Structure 1
Amino acid sequence: MIQAVQRAVHVLRELATATPQLGVTALADRIGVSKPTAHALLRTLEREGLVCQDPETARYQLGPGLVVLGNAYLDSHELRARAAAWADHLAGRVDSAVWVGVLNKPDVLVIHHQFRPGDALQTLETGASLPWNTCALGKAIVAFLPADQREQLLGGELYRVTSVSVDDPLVLKSQLDGVRRTGYALDDQELTLGDAGIAAPVFDRTGLVAGALGLVGPVERLLADDMRRDYAIAVREVARGVSRDLGAPRTAGLSASM
């Protein structure tokens, strides 16, 4: 492991969580290096456009170069490319927003957000990082991970984002068992009060889970007794279509049944 690279990444991560900026001394303390070392790291990252310095406060924040790298990652992501048309179809079919996500342990990164049809004001969530245990996308992915990886996540930090977020590993384990049986996952206001999610896993050509695709919308609509099953079936069908486009074998995830 190259220490300088590790430290540079640590700087970027600290700036990603800072509100809204950090000075050299604060960054040095956070990453455990001397002030001159922190300054050298920041100057190098600044020259590459990955951080920038506020001329008034002399503090640092993330730079525009990261947007270029982030967009390049999204543009080249095969799951996102394969899922875009399917997500658009699903959004129109059920009149709901659709998210596509991948696991970025221990969170889920939203790599595509298809807006709900219509002209209602909506916030683009592409790039959002969500605790895996609080969203249907995360549960759909983790349920189909190899057992050792699943247990590692269950034994890690589990976040409470709302009052009903599930942070009990035994309860989550039971939910994940259910996801493997049914082929889809739910969240009931666990990420955002008033909203729910229904998601299904997507598999790649190796048969491993590559991510998940799901609906996000008002809880009273998505989880209504007379509509929940129809939405779940639609999500699972579309996720299987994306899996086929990724070259997944027909046996991928076939242990699930409604």
Structure 2
Amino acid sequence: MNRRKHEEAGQRTPVDNAEHCCVGPERFSIRPMPGQVQSIARAAAILRLLASSSGRLGIGDIARSLNLPKGTAHGIIRTLQYVGFVEQDKTSGKYQLGAALLHLGTSSLDVNELRSRSINWADPLAARSGEAVRVGTLLDGKVLVVHHVFRPDDTLQTLDVGSLLPPHATALGKVLLAYDVGAANAVKQREPEPYTRRTLVTARALTRALSEVRDNGWGAEVGEMTPGEAGIAAPIRGYGGLVVGAIGLSGPVDRTCDGSGNPRPALVTYVRDAARAVSRDLGATRW
């Protein structure tokens, strides 16, 4: 019995019941209940379908899988796209889950998601700059390294993924603290460890440095963690503009800084470009 005959007979259609909507081996169940809002039930089925798919789906795929008219499926998809729950690939025109869902019910971003979205941009940053690249996020007052690309040469290097770095002495940490008042205050209240004679250990010095990060949109450290080494980092923003991580490079001062000891402008541009690219992939519309 087709949909029209169901409706003429006053019966629920398979979509109305939504008890056996499936694609491949996956099965979605949205059991009817008094007062159920049909459009929300259908939207939920579409989101589950996209979540279970190994690739992007077109309107036709979604409509067939859920036994929905194409016009209905398209209208729901358009609404989900408007609120950021669904994204459309510009090349294929097909759909996937949107970045906004990553932040639904939480103010932080899953570490694996941050890493996976950063990989495509961290490698090119290392290639362009010739320096090591790290991606980090705050964890219990420290900078957790979630991705690390080695400097593209033959020198012996150690993988830092999973390492915890001091936020006050690293470029990644300064950037993250600049946009997290609570974490910054916690660092200022304890006595930060002086790793070198250049490490910022007073609340006044750290406050000034974090203000500069916010003003410039990027941060740096020169010899504050390791003598003769410097780092440059920029914030990674997620959906809604929230800073969820940072990406940065590090290397010898004579390569990363000019004769005056300031970060080389070209490297700053490379880092900021990479941060913007990751932010776009995470659904940010401003940075």
Instruction: Please name the residue that 1:181 is paired with.
Output: 215
* Identity value in percent: 44
TM-score with structure 2 setting the length:
0.58
3-state secondary structure, aligned to 1:202: strand
Q: Distance in 2 between matches of 1:76 and 1:172?
A: 26
Equivalent position amino acid for 2:187 in 1: L
3-state secondary structure, aligned to 1:84: helix
Q: CA deviation at 1:206?
A: 3.1
Give aligned pairs, total: 176
Q: CA deviation at 1:163?
A: 2.4
The 8 Å contact of residues 145 and 162 in structure 2, kept in 1 or not, is answered as yes
Q: Distance in 2 between matches of 1:248 and 1:197?
A: 24
Task: Find out whether 1:120 has 2:155 as its counterpart.
Answer: yes
Bigger relative contact order, structure 1 or 2, given CA contacts below 8 A and separation 6+?
1
Deviations 1:91-133 (A, max 9, x none): 0011111011111132101111101112221111111111100
Equivalent position amino acid for 1:249 in 2: T
Q: Flag the 1:220–1:247 CA change in 2: closer, same or farther, 3 A.
A: same
Q: Distance in 2 between matches of 1:158 and 1:133?
A: 7
The structure 1 residue matched to 2:133, chosen from 91, 94, 98, is 98
Matches within 5 A, 1:206-225: 206-225=240-259
Q: CA deviation at 1:76?
A: 6.3
Instruction: Please name the residue that 2:96 is paired with.
Output: none
Q: CA deviation at 1:149?
A: 4.2
Q: Distance in 2 between matches of 1:95 and 1:227?
A: 14
Unaligned ranges ≥5, structure 1? 1-74, 253-258
Equivalent position amino acid for 1:180 in 2: R
Matches within 5 A, 1:131-150: 131-145=166-180, 147-150=181-184
Matches within 5 A, 1:75-86: 77-86=112-121
Runs of 4+ off more than 6 Å = none
* Larger Cα-atom Rg: 2
Deviations 1:209-241 (A, max 9, x none): 111000110011101248611111110111011
The structure 2 residue matched to 1:171, chosen from 182, 199, 205, is 205
Q: Flag the 1:195–1:247 CA change in 2: closer, same or farther, 3 A.
A: same
The structure 1 residue matched to 2:233, chosen from 172, 194, 199, is 199
Q: Flag the 1:166–1:92 CA change in 2: closer, same or farther, 3 A.
A: same
Instruction: Please name the residue that 1:26 is paired with.
Output: none
3-state secondary structure, aligned to 1:237: helix
Q: Flag the 1:159–1:237 CA change in 2: closer, same or farther, 3 A.
A: same
C-alpha RMSD over aligned residues: 1.8
Task: Find out whether 1:228 has 2:238 as its counterpart.
Answer: no
